[in-house]
Amino acid sequence: MAQPRADGPAGDARRRADLIARGRWEEADRLAERVGADAVDLAGLVYVPGGEALAPGTAAHPVGGSRLEGRERALKALLLANRGVDRAVAVESALAVLESPARLDVVCFWTSVMVLTFADELEHAQAACDRVEESPEWTGTAACRDTVGLLRARIHTMSGRTEEAIDLLLVLLSSGGLGRLTGLAVAWAVSLLADRGEVAAANDLLEGNGFTGSMDGAPDRAELLAARGGLHLSGGNFERGLDDFLACGRELDARAVSNSAVIAWRTGAALCAAAIERRDLAFALANEDAARAATWATPRRLAVALHVLAVARRAPRSVDLLKEAVALLDGLSCPELYRAGHDLAVLLGEQGELAEARSVLESARQVAERGGNAFWAKRLETAVRQLGVSDAVPLTRQELAAAKLARAGYSNKQIAEKQMVTPRMVELHLSSVYRKLGLSGRLDLALTMTLGD
């Protein structure tokens, strides 16, 4: 057991932050290992989504010496996951906690299950939630039930069960009892709504809960910044999306988190940068993401990194990268597969490989349908029908000009001013572009034109 310090946990947190700022991450981790198991506020020392809500008063269940041992193991797993190294050891440590009495400690349980989701061990994560709910200590405590509910929502999301995840998150938020976990629930719900194209609903949820501006001091600020970045990305506000994703990255760097499996901020930033033609930045972010993914080595993260690298490169090899991404995701029912399949089909279609493109789309659609993801099943079905339509119906000069400005991140009002037409005319031009190209909105437009230029 570490000896108490005169300035207590706050001093430990400051020392760790100072080491991180000076690039001495390994020393920072060793400090966390020395004092972390005894820390009352573990999240003040080491980053974990939702961790700020696990401070004193969140009904952790003390279980004697096993609690201390459990926190040591959970902390070890979390430090490895945040750095994106030794995935097998991180998973082993997390599972050991969840097989011990320490699983009844909220901090140990939450941290260990989060590590399992970072590592794509979703069956183990689901089993842990099922098991802990059999304990009276959990079923009788609202805070603990909400904790499991949030974790189940994350598991649903990663399993491609988007509708179930959104419904669960909205129910939890409507209960009004999440307290400091509200920001995390809002962030996860906003990300899902934005991914489904429900930009207005996502924005209302974010602003309705008071998450606006820089959000300094908000619990789970990194998750909220990433969610808002994704909202801007889906809405075509690529400059603002890039700003939010980069701010998220700075927040995580200050907490010694480099693993994109924790929050995929580099992915979003690279897509935004590519959409506004900042190719060097997009390529640098995509390359770093690929290097980090290779170290953590889950198929999902590797596939996402290859997908983003294909977008950033905009080269003939992009097709090969996307094919590799789709192959890595084979057998998984997840939004990452649907996106990669969709974008691969777009490139194949542009190259005249319509039969192969149709096969890729149909395979992804069937997986989405089996997984219960109605949004992506419908979107992919529409893409199958639209395949090849753009060859028969070319864009007009006005449509192409409006599309290029939209891709660069200009709003409809700004495009109207540049083209000296009404915003309504711009809206009509862009709607025609989306219909002719078989796209769902500005994000698809940006990625398709970026890849196809």
Q: What is the pLDDT of residue 11?
A: 72
User: Angle, nearest 10°, between helix axes 122-132 and 106-118?
Assistant: 160
Q: What is the end-to-end Cα distance of the chain in Å, rounded?
A: 60
Query: What confidence tier does 58 reach under pLDDT thresholds 50, 70, 90?
Result: very low
3-state secondary structure 23-68: CCHHHHHHHHHHHHHHCCCHHHCCCCCCHHHHCCCCCCCCCCHHHH
Summarised one tens digit per residue, pLDDT across range 184-238 is 999 999 999 988 878 889 999 999 999 999 999 888 999 999 999 999 988 888 8
Summarised one tens digit per residue, pLDDT across range 110-154 is 999 999 999 999 999 999 999 988 887 776 777 788 889 999 999
Taking 50 as the threshold, does the pLDDT of residue 453 lie above it? no
Taking 80 as the threshold, does the pLDDT of residue 443 lie above it? no
Which of the listed ranges 52-66, 168-182, 303-317 does the model predict with the highest average pLDDT? Answer: 168-182
Q: What is the pLDDT of residue 264?
A: 95
Q: What is the pLDDT of residue 62?
A: 45
Q: What is the pLDDT of residue 39?
A: 53
Domain positions in the chain are: 160-285, 315-387, 397-452
Which of the listed ranges 9-23, 271-285, 393-407 does the model predict with the highest average pLDDT? Answer: 271-285
Q: What is the pLDDT of residue 65?
A: 53
Q: What is the pLDDT of residue 393?
A: 60
Q: What is the pLDDT of residue 35?
A: 67
Which of the listed ranges 34-38, 275-279, 337-341 does the model predict with the highest average pLDDT? Answer: 337-341
**CATH value of 397-452 in 1.10.8.100, 2.60.40.10, 3.40.390.10, 1.10.10.10:** 1.10.10.10
Answer with the residue of higher pLDDT: 33 or 319: 319
On whether the CB atoms of residues 403 and 395 are closer than 8 A, the answer is yes
Q: What is the pLDDT of residue 388?
A: 61
Q: What is the pLDDT of residue 274?
A: 87
Summarised one tens digit per residue, pLDDT across range 67-126 is 677 888 898 999 999 999 999 999 999 999 999 988 888 888 999 999 999 999 999 999
CA 107 to each of CA 75, 114, 393, 414: distance values in angstroms, whole numbers, following the listed order = 10, 11, 58, 49
Which of the listed ranges 26-35, 336-345, 373-382 does the model predict with the highest average pLDDT? Answer: 336-345
Q: What is the pLDDT of residue 438?
A: 66
CB atoms within 10 A of CB 206: 22
pTM of the model: 0.84
- Cα 3 to chain center, whole Å? 38
Query: What confidence tier does 262 reach under pLDDT thresholds 50, 70, 90?
Result: very high
Answer with the residue of higher pLDDT: 416 or 302: 302
Query: What confidence tier does 1 reach under pLDDT thresholds 50, 70, 90?
Result: very low
Q: What is the pLDDT of residue 48?
A: 92
Classified by CATH at the fold level, domain 160-285 comes out as: 1.25.40
CB within 8 A of 313, min separation 6: which ones?
A: 283, 286, 321
Alpha-carbon distance of 448 to 335, in angstroms, equals 18
3-state secondary structure the chain: CCCCCCCHHHHHHHHHHHHHHCCCHHHHHHHHHHHHHHCCCHHHCCCCCCHHHHCCCCCCCCCCHHHHHHHHHHHHHHHHHHHCCCHHHHHHHHHHHHCCHHHHCHHHHHHHHHHHHHCCCHHHHHHHHHHHCCCHHHHCCHHHHHHHHHHHHHHHHHCCCHHHHHHHHHHHHHHCCCHHHHHHHHHHHHHHHHHCCCHHHHHHHHHHCCCCCCCCCCCCHHHHHHHHHHHHHHHCCHHHHHHHHHHHHHHHHCCCCCCCCCCCHHHHHHHHHHHCCCHHHHHHHHHHHHHHHHHHCCHHHHHHHHHHHHHHHCCCCHHHHHHHHHHHCCCCCCHHHHHHHHHHHHHHHHCCCHHHHHHHHHHHHHHHHHCCCHHHHHHHHHHHHHCCHHHHCCCCHHHHHHHHHHHCCCCHHHHHHHHCCCHHHHHHHHHHHHHHHCCCCHHHHHHHHHHHC
Q: What is the pLDDT of residue 36?
A: 60
Q: What is the pLDDT of residue 447?
A: 59
Summarised one tens digit per residue, pLDDT across range 408-439 is 667 788 888 888 888 888 888 888 888 777 67
Taking 70 as the threshold, does the pLDDT of residue 66 lie above it? no
Domains 160-285 and 315-387 share a fold: yes
Which residue is it, tokens 């080595």?
297
Which of the listed ranges 6-20, 243-257, 313-327, 380-394 does the model predict with the highest average pLDDT? Answer: 243-257
Q: What is the pLDDT of residue 234?
A: 83
- Cα 213 to chain center, whole Å? 20
Summarised one tens digit per residue, pLDDT across range 228-259 is 999 998 888 889 999 999 999 999 999 899 99
Share of the chain above pLDDT 70, in %: 87
Classified by CATH at the fold level, domain 315-387 comes out as: 1.25.40
Taking 50 as the threshold, does the pLDDT of residue 327 lie above it? yes
Q: Which amino acid makes up residue 100?
A: S
Which pairs count as long-range contacts for 285-289, CB under 8 Å and 24+ apart, including other chains? Answer: 285/312, 286/311, 286/312, 286/313, 287/312, 289/260, 289/264
